[in-house]
Amino acid sequence: MTTEKVRCLIVGSGPAGYTAAIYASRANLAPVLYEGLQPGGQLTTTTEVENFPGYPQGITGPEMMEDLKKQAERFGADIRIGMATKTDLSQAPYKVTIDDEKVIEADALIIATGATAKYLGLEDEKKYAGMGVSACATCDGFFYRKKDVAVVGGGDTACEEALYLSGLAKKVFLIVRKPFLRASKVMQDRVLNAPNIEVLFEHNAIGLFGKNGVEGVHLVKRLGEADEEKLDIAVDGFFLAIGHKPNSDIFKPWIETDEVGYIKVEPGTPKTKVPGVFAAGDVADPHYRQAVTAAGTGCMAAIEAERYLMNQK
């Protein structure tokens, strides 16, 4: 297995990784960035991005990520295809194995591997990706003003998404497979008292339908029971709110994560408990999960990496 030594390694792309690469390149850290399983991150699955500053007419997710990538390359970032498969952060230089065939030894490491939205596993979720299926109400809710939408989930996140959408959409169906909400009492009260939110308890989404995009959801009420009933509801948008899985597994032996897997950082910084290892973007953000906040933490991580390397001299 070959070994390569670098000053600053960035694992993961997307707004956090590419922004870290821009700042690290301008600081003469000669960063090497591996794009990971999904080059460009989650935004490459989004059709239109209208809430990132600087794009008054909006831009597609893939186009925006390509812009960020080109900007990083302009300043000298070495951006490569490859996925981190193993790590050893027991001591510096930190070792990251790429594709099980090459070891990168880095003086400073920026983790920007993101988080993956959980889906129900329906074939229709793939079929209508970018055509009515979304895992982010804050990102895509604007496109459903005065329309009917459905949100799947029964926890705090689902209730938050439903409430956010209720301020935009005409009607919000909250599809809950259990006969109760798991959300906190205050969130439950807000949802149950919202005039344009209808909670469908004991309902399972089993499919979607529509010609050129989502037009409705196939549901089963009381699945598996004697009084099981199939029904359809007409909606223009289908929002998943059943959680995210941070892509942090290969780092867990060395750094702290919360119970879900989000990397713990010092409040207000991208610093992990391992000196010289920083986390940026959705892998360390269970709250906002926005492109602009991810880019901000990517900037912070690169600045902290520069300061760390300067002090190491």
Domain ranges of the chain: 2-116+245-312, 119-240
Helix (H) or strand (E) holding 125: helix 123-127
Tell me if 176 sits within 8 A of 221, measured CB to CB.
no
- One of 8, 107, 136, 236 is an active-site residue; which one? 136
CATH topology of domain 2-116+245-312: FAD/NAD(P)-binding domain (3.50.50)
136 is catalytic: yes
Q: What is the pLDDT of residue 46?
A: 66
SS3 content of the chain, % helix, strand, coil (to 5): 30, 30, 40
- One of 8, 107, 124, 139 is an active-site residue; which one? 139
Beta strands 237-240 and 133-134 are parallel
Phi, psi of 288 (to 5 degrees): -100, -50
Count of C-beta atoms within a 10 Å radius of residue 107: 18
Measure the CA–CA gap between 107 and 117, rounded to whole angstroms.
Answer: 31
Q: At what angle do helices 291-312 and 14-26 cross, to 10 degrees?
A: 40
Measure the CA–CA gap between 285 and 183, rounded to whole angstroms.
Answer: 20
* Domain 2-116+245-312 and domain 119-240 have a common topology: yes
pTM metric for this prediction: 0.82
Tell me if 280 sits within 8 A of 263, measured CB to CB.
no
Beta strands 229-234 and 237-240 are unpaired
Q: What is the pLDDT of residue 101?
A: 94
CATH numeric code, 119-240: 3.50.50.60
Tell me if 174 sits within 8 A of 142, measured CB to CB.
no
Measure the CA–CA gap between 144 and 59, rounded to whole angstroms.
Answer: 17
Per-residue pLDDT of the chain (313 residues; tens, 9 = 90+): 899 999 999 999 999 999 999 999 999 999 999 998 778 777 776 667 888 999 999 998 889 999 999 999 999 999 999 999 999 999 999 999 999 999 999 999 999 999 988 999 999 999 998 899 999 888 899 999 999 999 999 998 899 999 999 999 999 999 999 999 999 999 999 999 999 999 999 999 999 999 999 999 999 999 999 999 999 999 999 999 998 899 999 999 999 999 999 999 999 999 999 999 999 999 999 988 889 999 999 999 999 999 999 998 7
Q: What is the pLDDT of residue 47?
A: 65
The closest alpha carbon to 115, from 249, 218, 227, 18, belongs to 249
Contacts by residues 188-192 (CB-CB < 8 Å, ≥ 24 positions apart): 188/159, 190/159, 190/163, 191/159, 191/162, 191/163
- One of 140, 148, 282, 285 is an active-site residue; which one? 140
